[in-house]
Amino acid sequence: SLIKASYLNIIMSKMEALGLTQIEFMYGGVPVISSGTYGQKWLITNNVDGVIVRGPDDVEGAARAIEELVKNPSKRDLMSTNAREKAKKFLMSKLMEELLSKAKSILK
């Protein structure tokens, strides 16, 4: 219910291996604002499905990103759709299906 009620998600981590919380929010159609550390750079495409600021201490950048998404609902809505589509790729059923397919092709 938290994700459904959210307009956006902000994670300004100094270290983040993958960004599971971000994937969860993205799957819920919530664009994320991220510090862009480690796995976050790989997960988020800047200004497509979220916003990457200039690191965990970029408070001004995060504030600008919030303001932009609040003032531009059409941009937020597009990011929301893009975020959900990207997050679908990380469903465990999807990942297992791809893993099994790769394993079968190797064993042939």
pLDDT one-digit tens code per residue, 35-63: 999 888 889 999 999 999 999 999 999 99
Residue 52 pLDDT: 96
Residue 86 pLDDT: 95
Residue 63 pLDDT: 98
Residue 84 pLDDT: 96
Beta bridge partners of 34: 11, 52
DSSP letter (8 states) at residue 46 = B
8 Å CB contact between 33 and 51: yes
**pLDDT, tens digit, 9 for 90 and up, residues 75-108:** 999 999 999 999 998 887 777 888 888 888 998 8
Question: What torsion do the CA atoms of 18, 22, 27, 29 make, to the nearest 10 degrees?
Answer: -150
Q: What is the pTM of this model?
A: 0.83
